[in-house]
Structure 1
Amino acid sequence: MTQTDDRPLTDDSDRPLSTTRPGLTDDEAAALREISTRVLWLSTAIVDAANRNRPNPSGVKVGGHQASSASMVDIMVALWFHELTHEDRVSVKPHASPVLHAINYLLGDLDPKYLRTLREKGGLQSYPSRIKDPDTVDFSTGSVGIGATASLWAAMSLRYLRSRSAAAPAAGRFVSLLGDAELDEGAIWEAIADPAVSSMGELLWIVDLNRQSLDRVVPDIQIRRLQGMFAAAGWQVITLKWGRLISELFELPGGEELRLRLEAMPNEEYQRMLRVDSSQIADRILDGGGSDRLRALVGGLEPSRLAAAIRDLGGHDLGLLTDTYGSAATDRPTVVFAYTIKGRGLPTEGHPNNHSALLTEAQMHDLAERCGTSLEDPWRSFGADSAPGRLCSTRSELLRRPPLRPVPEVAVPTSLGHPYRKPTSTQAALGRLLADIPRDAPDLAPYIVTCSPDVASSTNLGGWINKTGVWSIADRRDWFADDTERILKWSEVPTGQHIELGIAEVNLVGLLGELGATWSRWGHRLIPIGTLYDPFVSRALEPWSYGIYAGGQSILVGTPSGVTLAPEGGAHQSITTPSIGLEQPACTAWEPAFAQDLEWTFLHAMAQVGIPGGTSAYFRLSTRPVDPDLARLPEEPALLERRRLQAVAGGYRLTDHDPASEQVTLVGMGAIMPEVVQAAQILQNLGIAAGVVCLTSADLVFRSFQQRGERRPGTGGNIVDMLFPQPHPTPLVTVLDGHPHTLSFLAGARGDRIRCLGVTEFGQSSSLADAYALHGIDAGSIVDAALSLLGR
């Protein structure tokens, strides 16, 4: 019946769980069962109301998941109404969102007016959303696998907070409720394989093992493999296959044979047995065979009792569930495989096509009668003096969370004031900036935490790490501390401010999202900065985007980028990332060319992270050294500040002549700026006045372009009109080390003729000059494009 990883993974290891905590009393069990029955009804009615009673002139299906919710009801009721404290945080599988809302309603955390609003504007979201739902939701889910791992990264984030501050919140459990089909996602296995995870005893994952996915019944052989994979990663593994009712039958003569017969059934055969009349179940179990003892056992049971027994799975036994939750290990993470029936208690129970099936009106009436309620008054709650009503009230008080503390104000300087006199890359400038902050901005430094997937040194975080240390759950001895030839000091201590992950970009952005949510989850601000190789931004894109959707604010640095990384070859030359950054909601994309621009824009981005109304940022940086003199920085303080303001608004003009005199305007962004400046000089030698615009953020310039004529304020300001004055239309040549369509919108700024240069093909290993020439972004190609636009 249960199985832990202290015993072999064999069929005869399933036995009742021992626990030192007293089990449920009969009265407690009865109250929980009443609540469970009501939650089954409410979750089903929430989906029903969205589909059957709401006007739908578009004809587009509203949808919902009654069967997927039903299999989770007992698992969730046992948690919320017996186990959880206000310190715990729970990630709920996407398709069980109606169960969460039903529970929150019974706990007084959801106004009843929302119960009819599933998937409606301003109502309950299709899947749990901590930002958009009106009730308490701890983690946004919906992207399969990502929401489940979020609890793991949140636990690590809280550990980080607690290791650095005595004022950090108390640590509770971090629970993930996930479907068995969700374990197909690679993000799950990348997360549990991280070395730090095996010691995190606050993690409790509960797998709803209903053995169905959207299209199919999942093969039963999966469970052994999954158990072994979690155990190999250091997790305690508990399996709840059978409930206590049928386990009593297993102890009778013929019971062991009954157990073996049921467990030998393919999932499809077992679920087909759930669909037949109860009078046929015994014959299906015997299937023309079986011993005399087995025949006597199943033949001697009332059909209704036998039907109840075969449905008595561990994930539906409330007492077994509460005992299991209370006995989970605290020195390592625990996963509970709880066998359930998809659609448990509904007419669609166990049907292979029940995933999105909706009950008919007649079926809803029948369900209401069985649940002690009515379709006419579907949102009936318990009486205050009833046992379940009292339990709801008691649990509501116990689960009430203290008010969130105000997010601390942190002074982020606009500049550190150090001049950049030698050619340097933006990647190196980032390393210098971070290394200087502990000295130049000591009040800001404690809020910064950096992360990388085994690329900290190669993304120039070495200076920062030397000053702040590497964070670990416990002190680790540095065996190279006395090595005088070592440059990078890898001191792993609980007070470090850099978190190193394995080569798993999905883990990086998962952790970034949760580090970036501590301000809204616990009232403790962090400014998380993650560095990875820019070509792998695409690999991390979906979980990164989902973390931003869930409210995580962070800074992602992709470096080095583009075909500028010429010798590395095409596999490491990122092309699409500039437009990815521009298109990502709740995030500002930056690609500065010069070290000073990097400093200004990065400090500006840091000021926006970890605050109400804040935003994430994506920086695309390069290892190409660029001469700072090309930026032509003004020396006069007022003009220098003006340049800074333009840089953080999205760009500035490098040429200072009157735009009215320009014959062509060259627009560059990022590492390609030396070629743009060189092309302008060549054109000047040909007697052609070429203006030069240096963009730091195509994203902000696009927003400025989009907000023209809007009645509501935007965030782009009027930078597009400053860069491209309306009275002076001029042909444009845009250039960047990325896909050219990123800057193609500039044609609409004034209606200019335009040529967009960039990278549209996979690259190859080469020199820098050869790479630029190969892709047509060298100075000669820029000059040729300008002359073509001018008809020369």
Structure 2
Amino acid sequence: MSSKISYLSEIERCVSWLAAWTIHHANHIREGDEVKVGGHQASCASLSTIMTALYCSVLRTQDRVAVKPHAAPIFHALQYLAGNQTREKLENFRGFQGAQSYPSRTKDVDDVDFSTGSVGLGVAQTLFSSLVQDYVSAHGWMNDRPEGRMVSLIGDAEMDEGNIYEALIEGWKHGLRNCWWIVDYNRQSLDAVVREGLWARFEQIFTNFGWDVVILRHGSLQEAAFAEPGGDKLRQWIEKCPNQLYSALIFQGGAAWRRRLLDEVGDQGPVTALIERRSDEELQALMANLGGHDLPSLLKAFEAASRHDRPVCFICYTIKGYGLPLAGHKDNHAGRMTPTQMEGFRQQMGVKPGQEWEKWAAATTLTEELDDFVARAPFFREGRRRRSAPAIPVPPALPSPGQPGKPLSTQMGFGQILNDIARGDTPLAERIVTTSPDVTVSTNLGPWVNRRGLFARESMADTFKDERIPSIYSWELGPKGQHLELGIAESNLMIMLGALGLSHAINGARLLPVGTVYDPFIYRSADQLNYACYQDARFLLVATPSGVTLAPEGGAHQSIGTPLIGMSQDGLCSFEPAFVDELSVIMRFAFDYMQRDGEGDPGETTWLRDQTGGSVYLRLSTRPLEQPARQIDPDLEQDIINGAYWLRRPGPNASIIIAYQGVVAQEAITATGLLAEDRRDIGLLAITSADRLNAGWQAAERARQRGAVGAMSHIERLLASLPRDSGIVTVIDGHPATLSWLGGVYGHRVKSLGVEHFGQTGTIADLYRHHGLDTNAIMHAAQAVSHGRTIRYLEALS
């Protein structure tokens, strides 16, 4: 153990130096602009010991870690010492294409397991990733690989984030295992010092949810001092000392500790002797020797917890800015060492000028020994740990349950398509896993669960079935179930989808996650959705019901701006079909698109980078529409995927076209029919994805700017034949800005109809009339747009 501690101590020195130097270089040496680069030298320093112990001794290659966002430079430094990070990237920390401000699994070259940055989300991610590992293991897809431990390094201020406690509830319900949360309890947040006694509240909360709680308050130096005569009084004083005072004395140093201790506990006897036996420097070292900075204490605690699979919360007392001249100061969160302070720190660490970027510049041990020690660490010895899994074959077509002339909603069609898939013994059916925040039945997942069952690590009886109580739902709970039921917390849904959608990279087992949610409540989990997409997790998000079309439910259940989320969210491909045959085509595309991970140039049909894949968002409705009588040929299928097709192609003299998206198809079709009585060339454009149309248009324009003068997007081809003085009326049960940009493609006049204000209860007819989505409103808009054409025509004649 002593040799291990010696090596780890040397590594910690080098990590602390490199992290501090990386931030200093970015702010004071590298050429930049007037905007500060930033960094968090103090927040890094508080985790230097913990992360060194974990990465260089405790963690195994199968373990996965979410690093506290502000400790990114410590992570990058450790990866640099292990050969997984480059000096070039460190020199460009927080610069363009340099090491990222916060660990990113998609943008950093080193071995990031989970992206972090939005505080608290990486914490919950590890919990759900552990549950996903249980799912994969129960289905026999681990391929004899050992189960990993999901570890989160947490700033104590992150514990204010509510989604952490929502996740705790879900973990308890599902029998969480193999999860460690390590709290960097430095007692300082961005703006303040943490409230007294918070650790006791943490301990109680975690214990209540079945976690083991390990508190590392005192290091081995302090424990040794406590064993000396008078040590019990020193312990009592430390444990009663207010957080603010402890931080202030750490900043002031040994002389301040001496004055305070002698004044408050000195007795001219054992305690005084204990204090006087130590120099100011030794006294400062003693009082800074908290559990989170003591390698022997950390290794002992981590190794003990490694002997079982119960979830563990480690509360590690640390010092913000440990070892730096900023240590303990309440303003140190965004503070950075001045050049003078950095020079003093360089001399303190024994780093020679010009050798600041050398891996072992701060070490006092032979560097070959340190290189060998790190290379043999279980976490690093197999190199990069990103796994992969083969794609699951998707059939050429999915069933389309709609019958011509019969009314059917897209929500109902979604449930029937999944039910048809569930009937088959196919790889696609086997790898689909569904999840929902207590809206399984109301989002039409019930038939799927009837056939495929609920997941639980242990089989559970259906009491209603055992008691012979009739029910249309026969939901078996057991290890082979394929539905993960969640409580009413949309944030948990999105983080679960993120965890399921990374299983191929984390567990080496491909899953096809499908999550359902009420469309308006996407807002409640928008940050978590963004986080899942930022990590490049792959999933199908089915949001239903949507819009004011859910008329009797009132404004609280009626979404307005969610189509704009679908358009603007990177990594998420958004669709809103009107008919079930469109939905079938889109779902087939989605299951394939979720698995793509290719590279290359954009396709010249849409100019979209479809080969890279991503996640998919479907906005569906409960309103039944009469299904069209048609066969989906390959051309129409491709147009549906590309984002739009002509339901009625405009003639050469079209004065007006109507473009609709989603459930308002019926009103748009009726209005077109009535207008066609005196405007025979009128066109009707069925839009299935404003997102893909807009993205393709933007991409084609960028291609033209780069010299591809013939680049043309799908929407440009569709609108190319329209006379320039034609008008466009757009209509959607959502914000009108979703489609208003169509006028910018060729400069056509546009009148955009949609919803801009909260709805209310009523019938669909009531609400469509109130918000201007009904047939009359569409016809009035068409008259207004075409009236502008008439005026210009008369002006031209005069």
TM-score strictly above 0.5: yes
- The residue aligned with 2:604 is none
- Residues 372 and 307 (structure 1), Cα distance of their counterparts in 2 relative to 1, 3 Å cut: same
Farther-moved stretch of structure 1 (663-672 vs 472-481): 472-481
Farther-moved stretch of structure 1 (100-109 vs 244-253): 244-253
Structure 2 gap ranges (5+) = 598-611, 791-798
**Kept after mapping to 2: 8 A contact 1:196/1:473:** no
- The residue aligned with 1:598 is 583
1:251 corresponds, among 227, 234, 240, to: 227
Equivalences for 1:149-164 in 2 at 5 Å? 149-164=124-139
Q: CA deviation at 1:38?
A: 1.2
Equivalences for 1:670-681 in 2 at 5 Å? 670-681=662-673
Paired residue secondary structure (1:708): helix
Paired residue secondary structure (1:59): coil
2:781 corresponds, among 780, 785, 789, to: 785
| Partner deviation per Cα, 1:150-198 (whole Å, 9 max, x = no partner) | 1112222222112113444421111100100001111111111115567
- The residue aligned with 1:579 is 564
Farther-moved stretch of structure 1 (213-222 vs 394-403): 394-403
Q: Are 1:394 and 2:387 matched, yes or no?
A: no
**Kept after mapping to 2: 8 A contact 1:412/1:606:** no
**Kept after mapping to 1: 8 A contact 2:643/2:693:** yes
Q: CA deviation at 1:370?
A: 2.4
Q: Are 1:448 and 2:432 matched, yes or no?
A: yes
Letter in 1 for 2:155: G
**Kept after mapping to 2: 8 A contact 1:219/1:266:** no
- The residue aligned with 1:355 is 333
- Residues 108 and 461 (structure 1), Cα distance of their counterparts in 2 relative to 1, 3 Å cut: same
Letter in 2 for 1:719: H
**Kept after mapping to 1: 8 A contact 2:127/2:171:** no
- Residues 403 and 553 (structure 1), Cα distance of their counterparts in 2 relative to 1, 3 Å cut: closer
| Partner deviation per Cα, 1:26-62 (whole Å, 9 max, x = no partner) | 2221221111111111111111121222111x21111
| Partner deviation per Cα, 1:183-242 (whole Å, 9 max, x = no partner) | 111111111111556733310110000111111111222221121111111111111111
- The residue aligned with 1:147 is 122
- The residue aligned with 1:268 is 244
- The residue aligned with 2:502 is 517
CA distance in 2, matches of 1:616, 1:160: 21
**Kept after mapping to 2: 8 A contact 1:149/1:188:** yes
- The residue aligned with 1:719 is 714
| Partner deviation per Cα, 1:318-350 (whole Å, 9 max, x = no partner) | 011011111127342100000000000001111
| Partner deviation per Cα, 1:43-97 (whole Å, 9 max, x = no partner) | 11111121222111x2111111111110000000111111111111111101111
Q: CA deviation at 1:786?
A: 1.1
Letter in 2 for 1:649: N
1:101 corresponds, among 76, 87, 98, to: 76
Q: CA deviation at 1:478?
A: 1.8
**Kept after mapping to 2: 8 A contact 1:278/1:303:** yes
CA distance in 1, matches of 2:253, 2:142: 60
| Partner deviation per Cα, 1:617-642 (whole Å, 9 max, x = no partner) | 1111000000013xx52x4xxx7332
Letter in 1 for 2:383: R
**Kept after mapping to 2: 8 A contact 1:413/1:441:** no
- Residues 468 and 372 (structure 1), Cα distance of their counterparts in 2 relative to 1, 3 Å cut: same
- The residue aligned with 1:737 is 733
**Kept after mapping to 1: 8 A contact 2:491/2:528:** yes
**Kept after mapping to 2: 8 A contact 1:210/1:340:** yes
- Residues 402 and 185 (structure 1), Cα distance of their counterparts in 2 relative to 1, 3 Å cut: closer
Equivalences for 1:231-242 in 2 at 5 Å? 231-242=207-218
**Kept after mapping to 2: 8 A contact 1:471/1:495:** yes
Paired residue secondary structure (1:480): helix
1:553 corresponds, among 529, 533, 538, to: 538
Paired residue secondary structure (1:645): helix
Q: CA deviation at 1:406?
A: 4.8
CA distance in 2, matches of 1:744, 1:40: 53
**Kept after mapping to 1: 8 A contact 2:435/2:493:** yes
- The residue aligned with 2:651 is 659
| Partner deviation per Cα, 1:526-554 (whole Å, 9 max, x = no partner) | 11110000010011111111111112011
CA distance in 1, matches of 2:594, 2:25: 39
- The residue aligned with 1:650 is 643
CA distance in 2, matches of 1:198, 1:322: 29
Percent identity over the alignment is: 38
Farther-moved stretch of structure 1 (159-168 vs 506-515): 159-168
**Kept after mapping to 2: 8 A contact 1:506/1:539:** yes
- Residues 262 and 757 (structure 1), Cα distance of their counterparts in 2 relative to 1, 3 Å cut: same
CA distance in 2, matches of 1:524, 1:741: 40
Q: Are 1:536 and 2:521 matched, yes or no?
A: yes
Q: CA deviation at 1:726?
A: 4.1
Letter in 1 for 2:719: F
**Kept after mapping to 1: 8 A contact 2:42/2:320:** yes
RMSD: 2.2
Letter in 2 for 1:617: V
CA distance in 2, matches of 1:166, 1:704: 38
Q: CA deviation at 1:722?
A: 3.8
- The residue aligned with 2:290 is 313
- The residue aligned with 1:77 is 52
2:308 corresponds, among 321, 325, 330, to: 330
CA distance in 1, matches of 2:234, 2:18: 35
CA distance in 2, matches of 1:127, 1:194: 27
Equivalences for 1:166-181 in 2 at 5 Å? 166-168=141-143, 169-181=145-157
CA distance in 1, matches of 2:247, 2:730: 62
| Partner deviation per Cα, 1:678-728 (whole Å, 9 max, x = no partner) | 1112223455653211110011111232233432789x9732134323442
Paired residue secondary structure (1:215): coil
Farther-moved stretch of structure 1 (598-607 vs 112-121): 112-121
- The residue aligned with 1:194 is 170
Paired residue secondary structure (2:258): helix
Q: CA deviation at 1:761?
A: 0.9
Farther-moved stretch of structure 1 (70-79 vs 688-697): 688-697
- The residue aligned with 1:478 is 462
1:52 corresponds, among 28, 43, 59, to: 28
Q: CA deviation at 1:369?
A: 2.6
Letter in 2 for 1:434: L
**Kept after mapping to 2: 8 A contact 1:384/1:390:** no
CA distance in 1, matches of 2:744, 2:252: 66
Farther-moved stretch of structure 1 (45-54 vs 517-526): 517-526
CA distance in 2, matches of 1:357, 1:198: 42
CA distance in 2, matches of 1:277, 1:449: 56
2:473 corresponds, among 468, 488, 497, to: 488
**Kept after mapping to 2: 8 A contact 1:564/1:573:** yes
Q: CA deviation at 1:413?
A: 2.5
Letter in 2 for 1:437: I
CA distance in 2, matches of 1:114, 1:750: 43
**Kept after mapping to 2: 8 A contact 1:516/1:610:** no
CA distance in 1, matches of 2:353, 2:23: 13
- Residues 735 and 398 (structure 1), Cα distance of their counterparts in 2 relative to 1, 3 Å cut: same
Letter in 2 for 1:682: L
| Partner deviation per Cα, 1:461-514 (whole Å, 9 max, x = no partner) | 111111111111221122223436211112111111111111111111101011
CA distance in 1, matches of 2:624, 2:246: 66
Structure 1 gap ranges (5+) = 1-24
- Residues 759 and 300 (structure 1), Cα distance of their counterparts in 2 relative to 1, 3 Å cut: same
CA distance in 2, matches of 1:39, 1:231: 34
TM-score (norm 1): 0.92
CA distance in 2, matches of 1:424, 1:722: 31
**Kept after mapping to 2: 8 A contact 1:510/1:543:** yes
2:409 corresponds, among 419, 425, 429, to: 425
CA distance in 2, matches of 1:528, 1:443: 14
**Kept after mapping to 2: 8 A contact 1:148/1:176:** yes
Paired residue secondary structure (1:575): coil
Farther-moved stretch of structure 1 (177-186 vs 382-391): 382-391
Q: Are 1:703 and 2:695 matched, yes or no?
A: yes
**Kept after mapping to 2: 8 A contact 1:683/1:689:** no
2:771 corresponds, among 766, 769, 775, to: 775
CA distance in 1, matches of 2:331, 2:753: 51
CA distance in 2, matches of 1:583, 1:765: 29
